[in-house]
Amino acid sequence: MPLLNPNYVAGEDLYPARIVKRATDENNAVLMADDGTAVPVGVVFNGTREAPIPSVTTAYAALDQEPVRVHGPGDVAEVEIGETLTDGCEVMAGTNGVAMVATAGNYVVGICQRGVTYASGEKAWIHVMIYQKNA
C-alpha cells in the first residue's frame, strides 16, 4: 500500500497549522507557502516541538532540517487563518502560510469545514484537497 502522506523535512523553521509547499532546492523539504501561486503540499500538523511556555519558547512545529508531519489530500486539518472564512469556501495560502479565501487562478489547499471569523491566531478546520481554482 503506498504511503499517501509521507513525512517531510522542514526547509525552514515552520509554525504549526500553516500551509506548506515543496522546497525546490532540497529533496522532500517543505517551506511555508506565501500565496496561492505555488502548488501546496498540505498543512503542517497543529502541534509544537516543545511544550509551549509563554515568553520562554517559540511555538515551532519543526526547525530547519527536522522531520515534520504534513496533512495531505484526504485529511482534515486545522489551519491558522488570515481572514474570515465561511463554510464551504475554498482556501489558499496567504502570507506565511495562513489560510485565505481562494481566488481564481490560484491553487486551493482545501475546503473550509466550519466558518470562522478572523481573529489573530484563530484556526479553522479544512478538508485538504489540492487543485487549481478556475473561476
Determine, yes or no, domain membership for 125: yes
Range of the domain at 12: 8-132
The answer to whether 130 and 107 are in contact (CB under 8 A) is: yes
Determine, yes or no, domain membership for 107: yes
Q: What is the pLDDT along the chain (135 residues), one digit of tens a residue?
A: 344 556 799 999 999 999 999 998 888 899 999 999 999 999 999 988 887 777 766 789 999 999 999 999 999 999 999 998 988 999 999 999 999 999 999 999 999 998 787 776 789 999 999 999 986
Determine, yes or no, domain membership for 3: no
The pLDDT assigned to 121 comes to: 75
Determine, yes or no, domain membership for 37: yes
- What is the reported pTM? 0.90
Determine, yes or no, domain membership for 2: no
DSSP reduced 3-state for 96: helix
Determine, yes or no, domain membership for 31: yes
Number of domains in the chain: 1
The pLDDT assigned to 1 comes to: 37
The pLDDT assigned to 5 comes to: 55
Determine, yes or no, domain membership for 1: no
Buried b (16+ CB within 10 A) or exposed e, 67-100: ebbbbbbebebbbbbbeebeeebbbbbbeebbbb
The pLDDT assigned to 51 comes to: 77
CATH code, domain carrying 30: 2.40.300.10
Determine, yes or no, domain membership for 91: yes
The pLDDT assigned to 43 comes to: 96
For residue 31, count other CB atoms closer than 10 A to its CB: 21
Cell matching residue 88: 464551504
d(CA 61, CA 34): 17
